């Protein structure tokens, strides 16, 4: 047993504090990960994960969906993101295992929920990396038009994006310290260029008539503002909130470093996105807004094209350079994060154990990187454009966040846990986060919900197969304790089909959102009761491992 310092630090020869679930399992592979990240590095990683291709496109698509009401979209998604950050940090501090986003649900809610969430997050991370590659190449069409065809990457563009993904997987091959050093350098550029863009665009082209010219504050109604949360990539833009918690196994002092790294990085990104939204809404030429409306404006490289319209040719060239650097930083980080998540799925036996092997010299789960590269290329060829990729990602993020909220709420009932919780008021934070996540899923619209349901339920046969292979690690009782999650997805799907967000409209707005919120709250308490029953069961004790 290793002692935990009074400041919450963990000795260098171990990864986890005494009494945590990870220590009980004795996962030697976790101890091979190198603990080299301080809170400034974690803050830079969080910021970099949030300011990748998102800053180049999200403001444009948010304006296209909702016009000036897109400010409300940003505030809503920021509130949801803070709640998610509180739940993930609390889980990471009490259970500091790498790839925890896929391991905490299995520890606390049981292996059935762990398998489903692991599959969702695997899809999430597999879609995330090609989104950055596609964003990088979409801006590059200004230099090389053959990369893009209509609204998606051309065959040449897809091949180039594949080459980009390969290159960044190769860079991640060599360790977390290289990741942090490169990211710290890239982050400096990613702060300077967006801030300079905001200042110069507003100084050169600010026009207060844009709001009236585009039809007022809410030209497309409240529903469009809510749909923009996922459809415009806003949930995706703040997906980096989970980065420090996922990489807690490589943090020097989790109790101190994780909260600082998470919320300093998020706060900076949130302010930047509000400024970028302002610079977009008030510098698009009023004649364009008046003639086509916000939805009729079509840009492939929004801020670069705006700079050219305002006769800022040198800024356009700088933005085109940054369109390579910003997505590159987020892509470099995303490849590393996805590798840790797949590593976590190998550790909790959702995926084969060989995916949890860590290379001793580099401290990197290389097998996981290879598998993720292959899957990300498949998704790249399926979705083919930045907006299609991030719209799918928003749904996967929301589903994963909902289960993380259950895990955070039920965590205190774990009889094996001996580490003090970091966040106070989790009995309020967790249900609020769960309800917000359910609403974000619903607001995405019936087509996106339907897709997420189908892709998630594919994992059911996989659980049945794993249960037949090892009934001790995947007992049938975990299915009974996790059936709430399947019911939750089906309820959201049914309400989405009947609701006003691209559904049949049988349940009108805003009644539909209220019904979803109430149903989600009921599902939350069902999930908490089921998770508590699992945590105190004999099967959980026999399962051992990450459970």
Which one has a higher pLDDT value, 284 or 171? Answer: 284
Phi, psi of 37 (to 5 degrees): -100, 125
pLDDT for res 376: 82
pLDDT tens-place string over residues 306-321: 998 988 888 888 888 8
Instruction: With cut-offs at 50, 70 and 90, classify the pLDDT of residue 68.
Output: very high
* Category of 503 on φ-ψ map: left (φ > 0), alpha (ψ -120 to 50) or beta: beta
- Sign of the four-CA dihedral 99, 104, 107, 112: negative
pLDDT tens-place string over residues 523-537: 999 999 999 998 888
The DSSP output letter for 385 is S
d(CA 459, CA 120): 9
pLDDT for res 25: 38
pLDDT for res 51: 80
d(CA 10, CA 23): 12
pLDDT at 185 over 70: no
Which one has a higher pLDDT value, 201 or 153? Answer: 201
pLDDT tens-place string over residues 403-430: 999 999 998 888 877 777 777 889 999 9
- What tokens does 300 get? 């492939």
pLDDT tens-place string over residues 3-22: 333 233 333 333 333 333 33
**Residue found by looking up tokens 């008021």 in the block:** 425
pLDDT at 543 over 70: no
pLDDT at 546 over 60: no
pLDDT for res 78: 95
Phi, psi of 359 (to 5 degrees): -65, 125
pLDDT for res 31: 52
Alpha-helix runs per DSSP H in 51-146: 54-66, 70-94, 100-109, 111-140
pLDDT at 232 over 90: no
Whether the Cβ atoms of residue 57 and residue 65 lie closer than 8 Å to each other? no
The domains located in the chain, with CATH, are 21-543 (1.20.1740.10)
d(CA 283, CA 204): 8
Q: HEC states along 403-452?
A: HHHHHHHHHHHCCCCCCCCCCCCHHHHHHHHHHHHHHHHHHCCHHHHHHH
Cβ count within 10 A of residue 14: 18
Instruction: With cut-offs at 50, 70 and 90, classify the pLDDT of residue 75.
Output: very high
Report the percent of the chain where pLDDT is more than 70.
Answer: 81
d(CA 36, CA 153): 38
Instruction: With cut-offs at 50, 70 and 90, classify the pLDDT of residue 520.
Output: very high
pLDDT at 160 over 80: yes
Which one has a higher pLDDT value, 395 or 62? Answer: 62
Helices 155-172 + 176-205 axis angle, to 10 = 130
Which one has a higher pLDDT value, 129 or 173? Answer: 129
Q: In this predicted structure, which of 127-141, 167-181, 211-225, 529-543 has the lowest mean pLDDT?
A: 167-181
Cβ count within 10 A of residue 11: 12
Q: In this predicted structure, which of 89-103, 203-217, 428-442 has the lowest mean pLDDT?
A: 89-103
Q: pLDDT averaged over the chain?
A: 80
What is the separation of C-alpha 540 from the centre of its chain, rounded to a whole number of angstroms?
29
The DSSP output letter for 473 is T
pLDDT at 183 over 70: no
pLDDT tens-place string over residues 80-118: 999 999 999 999 888 887 667 778 888 899 888 888 888
pLDDT for res 250: 65
pLDDT for res 179: 54
Instruction: With cut-offs at 50, 70 and 90, classify the pLDDT of residue 26.
Output: very low
Which one has a higher pLDDT value, 125 or 35? Answer: 125
Whether the Cβ atoms of residue 135 and residue 328 lie closer than 8 Å to each other? no
Rg of the chain over CA atoms, in angstroms?
Answer: 22
């Amino acid at each position: 047993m290793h002692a935990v310092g009074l400041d919450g630090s963990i000795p260098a020869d171990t990864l986890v504090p005494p009494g945590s679930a990870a220590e009980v399992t004795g996962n030697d592979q976790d101890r091979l990960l190198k603990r080299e990240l301080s809170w400034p590095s974690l803050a830079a990683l969080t910021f970099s994960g949030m300011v990748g291709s998102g800053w180049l496109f999200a403001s444009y698509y948010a304006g296209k969906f909702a016009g000036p009401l897109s400010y409300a979209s940003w505030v809503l998604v920021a509130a949801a993101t803070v709640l998610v950050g509180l739940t993930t940090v609390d889980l990471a501090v009490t259970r500091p295992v790498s790839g925890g986003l896929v391991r905490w649900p299995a520890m606390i809610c049981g292996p059935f929920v762990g398998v489903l969430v692991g599959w969702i997050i695997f899809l999430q991370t597999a879609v995330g990396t090609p989104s950055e590659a596609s964003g990088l190449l979409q801006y590059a069409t200004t230099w090389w038009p053959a990369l893009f065809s209509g609204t998606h990457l051309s065959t040449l563009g897809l091949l180039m994006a594949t080459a980009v993904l390969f290159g960044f997987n190769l860079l991640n091959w060599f360790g977390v310290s290289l990741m942090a050093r490169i990211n710290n350098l890239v982050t400096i550029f990613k702060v300077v260029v967006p801030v300079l863009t905001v200042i110069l665009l507003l100084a050169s082209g600010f026009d207060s008539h844009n709001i009236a010219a585009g039809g007022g504050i809410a030209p497309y109604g409240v529903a469009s503002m809510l749909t923009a949360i996922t459809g415009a990539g806003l949930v995706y833009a703040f997906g980096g909130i989970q980065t420090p918690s996922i990489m807690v196994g490589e943090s020097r002092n989790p109790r101190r470093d994780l909260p600082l790294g998470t919320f300093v990085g998020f706060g900076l990104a949130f302010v930047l996105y509000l400024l970028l939204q302002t610079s977009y809404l008030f510098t698009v030429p009023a004649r364009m807004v008046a003639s086509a409306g916000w939805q009729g404006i079509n840009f492939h490289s929004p801020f670069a094209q705006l700079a050219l319209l305002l006769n800022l040719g040198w800024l356009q060239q700088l933005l085109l350079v940054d369109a390579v650097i910003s997505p590159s930083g987020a892509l470099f980080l995303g490849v590393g994060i996805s590798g840790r998540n797949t590593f976590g799925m190998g550790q909790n036996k959702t995926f084969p154990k060989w995916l949890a092997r860590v290379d001793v010299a580099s401290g990197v789960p290389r097998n996981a990187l290879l598998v993720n590269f292959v899957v990300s290329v498949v998704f790249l060829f399926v979705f083919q454009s930045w907006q299609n990729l991030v719209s799918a990602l928003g749904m996967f993020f929301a589903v994963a966040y909902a289960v993380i909220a259950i895990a955070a709420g039920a965590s205190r009932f774990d009889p094996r846990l001996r580490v003090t919780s970091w966040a106070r008021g989790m009995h309020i934070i967790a249900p609020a986060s769960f309800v917000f996540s359910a609403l974000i899923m619903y607001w995405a619209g019936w087509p996106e919900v339907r897709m997420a349901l189908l892709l998630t339920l594919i994992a059911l046969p996989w659980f049945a197969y794993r249960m037949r292979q090892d009934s001790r690690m995947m007992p049938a009782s975990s299915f009974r304790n996790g059936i709430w999650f399947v019911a939750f997805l089906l309820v959201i799907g049914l309400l989405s089909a009947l609701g006003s967000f691209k559904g049949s409209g049988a349940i009108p707005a805003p009644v539909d959102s209220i019904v979803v919120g109430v149903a989600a709250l009921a599902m939350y308490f069902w999930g908490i009761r089921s998770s508590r029953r699992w945590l105190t069961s004999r099967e959980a004790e026999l399962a051992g491992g990450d459970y």
